[in-house]
Chain A
């Protein structure tokens, strides 16, 4: 069987990186991702498999080591593992209570961090991202300029932002534009 060079994963913004006095933005390494849809029971079952309870409260996330589970909707979670391959995450069998779909390659992530991280995002995101309204661990799908994104606050001044891969050059450029004013 012929083999292509598929050892590495490549996306349009791989390796992008920018830092100024207030904020640093970088393209996150490739990750494994599942769009997980389930009934409450299905979610519980999968939590056991993953050894990580899926969050049940709107807008929250749970995480353990390299694995995070983000509440997206009442029956929808985004599972991200920054280390393990997708095969290790995907449920072995189909189940009437849930549906897991591999979307590892659908999304691209950026890490936005620094004192100006919130300002950088607020240039294009209409949400209140202050610590009181969007505390550490908050997760949400939202809008960023004209692109849909998922935001996860990983620390007081750090965020993980996920978007669909073809939107990533646009989102990157918009982040760079926002970073310009991040000190204000």
Chain B
């Protein structure tokens, strides 16, 4: 044997998975050698390292249990660098690469000496659900002492502290047949399905296809060894156009209508992945048919102290030997209730490993197994139980006896392998909403009917014999059965669920290793009235660890069933939830990070605003120019300047984000009459009108100016954020309530760039740019629209104002938006005009009492409340919202109504959202009668202005009210909503 640390447990000549090249890695800072193809677990075992982790609650020393995804002890933190660090990686799955760095978790200061291990001594206190029973008194101690203590103990590994630099991707795929699992069953199904010329995807979670065939060295299929047969099948499939083979790819979730989600890991095994290589890819596969060939998972035996490092599944020991050429010990005892453990023992014995004892739980086993054991010099004791084990950081002895307690014996070992039989993997079947059926004969759940187009074959369907599996593969693909010569197939007879001996009463017999759930904990839960398996699970946390009960569920169920004296199906099976194995958030997110989290929409004029120093504000998906600070200006000063410039000279504003809808057809006006509260019959072509839209419930939904271009054509504008839902709302009425109307709706929001020019010099600025229209005050009064040319481009020009000043809005095709804007700017700037942003726009419209839907109204405000009763055509027989507006509460007196507020101290600017009360001296909870919707400093007026929704506001004009703030009470006077140019003369200037 080699010196320690030099792969002294490597078995030469064995190992279907490993190569000859050696790689180095480190574990807890110590360097080790491994072979290419090793997993982290096999590599550590090759070096004689069994202690790989600590348990969650008791901090018990733990070694690897499994050679696959069901591992729940050997979880490690793997780091490539400070950002690429991943907690809770299963050592049994992680492939070793050159330079891999692994750290053990949940221990302090070291894995060998962990202070948290004191919990193990206190474990009698920490029984299932203990925290529900204590830490309640004194109540104050909860926040200060108990809770911080509990929270500090949380978790296993460390979350990364930096943003993940790696790339993830997504792929939608469609195929005729999707096969999950590339073992014997899956590969055979794929081979047969290809003959039907169907498109096929077959995936396997492991690096290599072959499943159990890679771990079983005895079996011969048509004269070939398992690994050889699998390799040939893969080569055959890979050569076909209609087959996609995905290794390192796990079927993680079965969703509706045969959508299976696959997680493919691409770089996790690479020593130095290319910097922009995709780390993981999510496949969302819609398949005509899904063949589930997930296999089965071996159960451990539940007996006292069954968790010491060096104790593992028999199948794991067999895999470590046959896939990786690693003997998991030199003195290995076996504890089993299933034939498969014998194959593991025999393989190990054939390599010269000493197998001192097979402790067989069953009383009767097949003669040929006994004979072969005898031949290899292995002692078998039947009808026996393991009563306990010895050792601290690794098992060093095992104590066993006959089931009646006789013939107790303790022997020295350095490993113990166990098998309680196999649990078919029903995860994906269950996720497809299939109902697993209990099979009393074999004491296991099996797939029942399939509610979707799927079929389970092989070990996950309870079919263990290879010849039968091949027959199933033929049947599920609609193929004729093929003939095969199969030799030395392994027997899977036997099995046991639940605890052995008196473990449910004595000692710590672990059911769920990671969460430290023992058979006693389950008994306690049952004793306390937890009679549903869901209660048992939640009370004890059995099955809630990172393996999601792959090892523990059946044992927990059996223990509860026995104590409840109820058959297993009556106790219930917990539901399987996606994902099958833990899956990175990154692979779900895929491309949708950073810029691609959500589209960022920018107007055609955005770049100009950016170049001219604008600050931007996000409005739904849009970025809008907020204000244009000049050097030294803060937001306040910039906005003040912009407002005053507009009012005294003019300003240019990018209104392109406004929604625009073209409403066209012979019945367009009739349709507008339905959708808007206003009347549209009298509006003449060339004129525009402000429109209000409600939902059926009578609350304001959206607003905007509508221009009538011709008898059949309206140019409708909506709020920026409202555009998509307004169009949907209109389409809904048009298609489903008024399909007989000849009207068509088209979104033109992005066809047009919209440039607002507002202020006394607005006409002077644009007049020379306009061709084909007389825009004089007489010919083109306020609320007009004309199709003309601006800067030589076909344009829709509106005479319209949201500032209260003389104003125009120029709509030009978007690709010309910036050029036209620059032409306007070239005229505007020399005249002393400015570019202004949304904030100045907000101030100026508030000075005029123009509302912003969504700010001065919310979904509880009617047009009447908002002071817009003039916009309701009461004589119309019908419009959307007419009936809703007649409901008692909407007609009641004293509703909140939009009014203006003037602070008694004009320099005081109210906070938007500030609540208004009539009597601020009342105790809390204080009666609130309204709140401030908009509030600004008006530089033009030299005082603050505000709009507010106030109960019975219209009748309170002139009265004093109060805004109680955290540190003061602000007195206000209720006013009308128009603060500036109350007669509205400037509009017509």
Contact = CB atoms under 8 A, between A and B. Distances in A.
Given A4-B792, A6-B793, A123-B591, A102 B751 contact: yes
A6 B820 contact: yes
B225 interface: no
A107 B174 CA distance: 29
B791 A6 contact: yes
A10 B595 contact: no
B596 interface: yes
Nearest to B816: A6
A167 B590 CA distance: 19
Contacts of A103: 746, 748, 751
A130 B176 CA distance: 12
A94 interface: yes
A2 B823 contact: yes
A123 B750 contact: no
B677 interface: no
A173 B173 CA distance: 21
Nearest to B597: A146
A177 B169 contact: yes
B748 A4 contact: no
A122 B171 contact: yes
Contacts of A9: 815-816
Interface string A63-103: 00000000000010000000000000000001010010111
B664 A99 contact: yes
Interface string B823-839: 10011000000000000
Interface string B738-754: 00001010111111100
B591 A145 contact: yes
Interface in A1-55: 1-6, 9-12, 30, 35, 37
B600 A181 contact: no
Given A37-B744, A166-B602, A124 B751 contact: no
Interface in B583-626: 590-592, 595-596, 598-604, 622
Contacts of B792: 1, 3-4, 6
Interface stretch (B276-284, B291-299, B510-518): B276-284
A167 B815 CA distance: 14
A106 B656 CA distance: 12
A141 interface: no
Contacts of A104: 751, 813, 815
Interface string B816-859: 10111011001100000000000000000000000000000000
Contact of A30 (B590, B622, B815, B826): B815
Interface string A90-133: 00001010010111111100000000000100111111101001
B604 to A, nearest CB: 8
Contact of B595 (A2, A5, A102, A170): A170
Contacts of A133: 174
B479 interface: no
A59 interface: no
Given A123-B169, A170-B599, A4 B822 contact: yes
A177 B276 CA distance: 11
A44 to B, nearest CB: 17
B662 interface: yes
Interface in B766-814: 768-771, 791-793, 813-814
A105 B172 contact: no
B791 A2 contact: yes
A2 B768 contact: yes
A156 interface: no
B110 interface: no
Nearest to B598: A146
A128 to B, nearest CB: 4
Contacts of A145: 591-592, 596
B894 interface: no
B823 to A, nearest CB: 4
A1 B769 contact: yes
A169 interface: yes
Contacts of A125: 172
Nearest to B603: A166
Contact of B173 (A1, A30, A122): A122
B286 interface: yes
A178 B744 contact: no
B171 A123 contact: yes
A146 B596 CA distance: 9
A101 B169 contact: no
B982 interface: no
Nearest to B170: A123
B550 interface: no
A155 to B, nearest CB: 19
Contact of B591 (A35, A107, A147, A174): A174
Interface string A150-172: 00000000000000111101100
Nearest to B711: A94
Contacts of B771: 1
Interface in B153-201: 167, 169-174, 199
B794 to A, nearest CB: 8
Contacts of A4: 769, 791-793, 816, 819-820, 822-823
B437 interface: no
B750 A94 contact: no
Contacts of B622: 166
Contacts of A123: 169-172, 590-591
B665 interface: yes
B281 A181 contact: yes
A146 B751 contact: no
Contacts of B813: 102, 104-105
A2 B276 CA distance: 50
Contact of A106 (B286, B751, B793): B751
A98 to B, nearest CB: 8
A156 to B, nearest CB: 15
A100 to B, nearest CB: 9
B278 to A, nearest CB: 6
Contact of A180 (B276, B752, B826): B276
A37 B5 CA distance: 77
Given A11-B815, A147-B599, A177-B591, A130 B174 contact: yes
Contact of A101 (B173, B281, B662): B662
B451 interface: no
B546 to A, nearest CB: 29
Nearest to B825: A4
B666 interface: yes
Contact of B172 (A5, A99, A102, A127): A127
Given A1-B792, A165-B814, A184-B171, A126 B284 contact: yes
Contacts of A164: 749-750
B712 interface: yes
A174 B815 contact: no
B602 to A, nearest CB: 6
A177 B173 contact: no
Interface in B416-439: none
B248 interface: no
B710 interface: yes
B173 to A, nearest CB: 7
A2 B827 contact: yes
B746 A35 contact: yes
B713 interface: yes
Contact of A5 (B167, B596, B819): B819
Given A2-B826, A125-B172, 9 more contacts: A1-B791, A4-B792, A11-B815, A99-B665, A105-B750, A106-B749, A145-B591, A167-B599, A181-B169
Interface of A: 1-6, 9-12, 30, 35, 37, 75, 94, 96, 99, 101-107, 119, 122-128, 130, 133, 145-147, 164-167, 169-170, 173-174, 177-178, 180-181, 184
6 contacts: A6-B816, A10-B815, A10-B819, A124-B591, A165-B750, A174-B591
3 tightest Cβ-Cβ pairs between the two chains A and B: A4-B823, A9-B815, A37-B744
